[in-house]
Amino acid sequence: MARTSAAAIAQRNGVAEYRRRLSALYTDAEAWLRDAGVSCRREQMSLNEEMGGRYEVSRLVIRTADRHRVAELEPVGAHVVGACGRVDLRGAFDRIPILYLLRGGLALRTRISGDLATTQQRVTPLFRGVDRDGWYSLEREEPSRARHIDRHHFLELVRRVSEHALEERP
């Protein structure tokens, strides 16, 4: 009987958590887009990561009522540098990375010591604005600033990548 290493279990758990987080994002996006007059469909695809191996996930394809492709949320991976998962919002005109970040985000820790006995420690967040666990996009004008994905911001991002006029229903 083969033994499973702790690293393999952690990798499998990371992929399972990534799938759960993607599903929650897709559920929100489907509701937001339905209210904006477009439809969505989940389609299976494969990812192959060095850390996670080969696994199946869903992408979310966004279409108009007449079946014109507007954009899609395309998974990139569960194991990415600086985040706990990434999915790209891709349209005809742009691609925007969306990262899953934990509250507070990652930080760079610097310890400075000199000839004196005093030591300084500095903590610099990698991204600002990460006030809760969730999906974030990075601001183009200020890449260290993260913006949480909510209904309004998501529809704005879909418009940016597709130049498709979405209906804003209250």
* pLDDT averaged over every residue in the chain: 86
CB contact at 8 A, 97 and 76: yes
> In the structure encoding, which two tokens stand for residue 87, read together?
């999915």
In sign, the C-alpha dihedral spanning 33, 61, 89, 108 is: positive
pLDDT at position 63: 94
Residue 104 backbone zone (phi > 0: left; psi -120 to 50: alpha; other: beta): left
d(CA 158, CA 99): 16
pLDDT at position 1: 40
pLDDT at position 10: 53
**Low-confidence residues of the chain, pLDDT below 50?**
1-3
Q: What is the CATH number of domain 6-162?
A: 3.30.920
> In the structure encoding, which two tokens stand for residue 107, read together?
């930080």
pLDDT at position 3: 46
Residue 67 backbone zone (phi > 0: left; psi -120 to 50: alpha; other: beta): left
Sequence spans of domains, the chain: 6-162
d(CA 106, CA 147): 15
